[in-house]
Amino acid sequence: MMRNLKTNLACLCLALPLLCCAATFGQPPAQTPSPDTGSPVLETNPAVRAALELPRKTPAEHFQAILWLIDLGRPQLAKPILEELTKLQLTDEQRASLVAEFGSRSMLQLARTAELAPAGATFADACMAAADAAANDPQRIAALIAQLTDPSPEVRQIARADLAATGQAGATATLESLATATNSNDRAMLLPAAAHMDPLVIGPLLAMLDSGDAALRTDAAALLNRLRVPQAVPFLQASTASAERALTTAIETYQQGPPPFAADEANRITLWHWDDATKKLTAAHHPAEEARTIWLARLAGELARLRPENRDYRRHLLVLGLETDRLFPATRRSPAIGRLASADPQLLNDVLADALEADYARAAVAAIEALGSRGDAQVLFMADAQPSPLANALGHANRRVRFAAVRAIMILDPTSPYPGSSRLPEALAWFAGSEGERRVLVAMPTNVASTNVAGMLAAHDLDAQPTNRGRDAVDLAREMADLEIILLDMNILVPDVRQVLYELRTSPTTAEIPVALLAPEGRLEAAHRLAAEHDRVVAVARPHSPEVLARVVDALTSMAGRDVATAEERAAQADQARNWLGKLSSGSRSFYTIRHTAPLDAGEPRRDAVAPDALPAP
């Protein structure tokens, strides 16, 4: 149980007369080392003496003495007792028992006592870990769940409280037991226990709404309604019309506003999945924006299920389904790929256009690959004579989208000019310029400053290109096919930093490259304001040491995300682009104007290159 200062001192006062009597009848008085000489001196504080003279035969008696000395403001005297306690070689069961008796607050008190560091924190952490393992023991949880259906109300109440204390493990196990319960009375007793574990049951319950078990869906819906979960509202409507309104409203809200669930300190959201075959719940952690898209796909799926005749709903589901499909294992793939195979060219073009507009790179790549596989070059010609979505994809900010578009058009191999055809050789020349290196652009007001930073970057196997003019920074960045990071000083000129950043963000080849704004003294606040106006931009003070610069590089690398193309992938793209440029240079498609900025006789592919057909999807 919990022991606070008042309780500890009260117990100590009760024990004090007995301990003092023991000292009077022959026990030597407690002694403590002198802070000056280290030699023993007589301890005059009776409470401290009582704590020191407390019999210590069990781990609990050791721990109690330590707590009393901490409470009395003499933690340094507890160090020998803590050493005795650590030498007892406690089992996990004994450690968990200490947490059960004294409470987690006492463990926290021990861990935070500086005079007992680091041994105190180590001991407290081990005890808390043992207690957590004991609380989440599957056999113990199963026993508690069995008690939830006990005839005795008292047994059920105690089991509910103990189960709630186990946290997420208990909540998940309770809901899985609800799914397998065949007795209606048992289900009725499990439901209140699940409700008692709000909010831990909310995510799993939302996942269980996808179950094919009508009884389970009814129970999950009833609990969500009882708990007033706003994310469940679109799924709980009584009529098709009201459900359609609720779903469309939710989709609009989540597209424009915050994510559907609160993110943790790492900006990640936990989403749950229910498997009808195994009757099990599983959780996955996603970046907040990725979780938003997954939830939107689920809402769109429900909307398309309600109104299967609505082409717009089907298209929206197809886009979101393709975007999220590759985030899951094959056993959890949506039917989106199957629907894509049967889609007509117009629907594919619409899906691609929507994906490009929403910056759904995975969906765009999937739609592009589907268009290329049809072998019909007519998809490049629109009725309004405007560039097709496939031609527009050549100018998208995502590298993999652009390369997928290049590949598809080369497969389609149109025999006549089409709107936007000039973009293909430009894109090929850019991809062919890659050497599979890790490149950085450093733009600072002086050549000396940019060269110094470039030199420090070499220690991280980064090939840095220094410059001292804003115009050169933009031009160089646009041509660097291996560019991974941009370091841009706030005092860069011709043009100024705001214009340089704007041009970098509006160019397809640099729009997604992470940028660090390097702020001199007095300009960091302005740098933060400018960084807030753009994606993938951070503001930092000018780095003056390799260690600080290393932290900046790590932050920018993390910002690039897991979908960034690797150096090996870029090398493979370059080899393939050179081969395609060679094909176009043969003259069979004279309407293409080739810009010879990369060698066409690429020779043997790099050994570290990935085969183009094996390039990973985003």
What per-residue confidence (pLDDT) applies to 600?
Answer: 33
Residue 517: count of CB within 10 angstroms of its CB: 24
Instruction: Identify the residue with better confidence: 189 or 42.
Output: 189
CB-based burial label for 212 (10 Å; 0-12, 13-18, 19+) = exposed
What per-residue confidence (pLDDT) applies to 558?
Answer: 87
The radius of gyration of the chain from alpha carbons, rounded to an integer in Å, stands at 33
CB-based burial label for 594 (10 Å; 0-12, 13-18, 19+) = middle
Cα separation, 395 vs 137, in Å, equals 55
Query: Cβ neighbours of residue 382 under 8 Å, at least 6 residues apart?
Result: 388, 419
**What are the CA-CA distances from residue 101 to residues 1, 61, 104, 105, 512 (Å)?**
5, 11, 9, 11, 55
Structure tokens at 510: 């640099």
In the predicted structure, residue 580 carries a pLDDT above the cut 50: yes
What per-residue confidence (pLDDT) applies to 593?
Answer: 84
What per-residue confidence (pLDDT) applies to 336?
Answer: 62
Cα separation, 51 vs 68, in Å, equals 6
Q: Which of 554, 557, 528 minimizes the C-alpha distance to 541?
A: 528
What per-residue confidence (pLDDT) applies to 2?
Answer: 41
What does the buried/exposed string (b/e) look like for 19-45 if buried means 16 or more CB atoms within 10 Å of the residue's CB? bbeebeeeeeebebeeeeeeeeeebee
**Cis ω for the linkage preceding 335 (within 30 of 0):** no
**The overall pTM is greater than 0.85:** no
The share of the chain scoring above pLDDT 90, in percent, equals: 69
The amino acid at residue 485 is I
Q: What share of the chain is helix, strand, coil (3-state, %, to 5)?
A: 60, 10, 35
In the predicted structure, residue 135 carries a pLDDT above the cut 90: no
Structure tokens at 428: 């090929």
In the predicted structure, residue 599 carries a pLDDT above the cut 70: no
In the predicted structure, residue 190 carries a pLDDT above the cut 50: yes
pLDDT tens-digit profile of 38-55?
445 456 788 898 889 889
Cα within 13 Å of Cα(559), Cβ side: 20
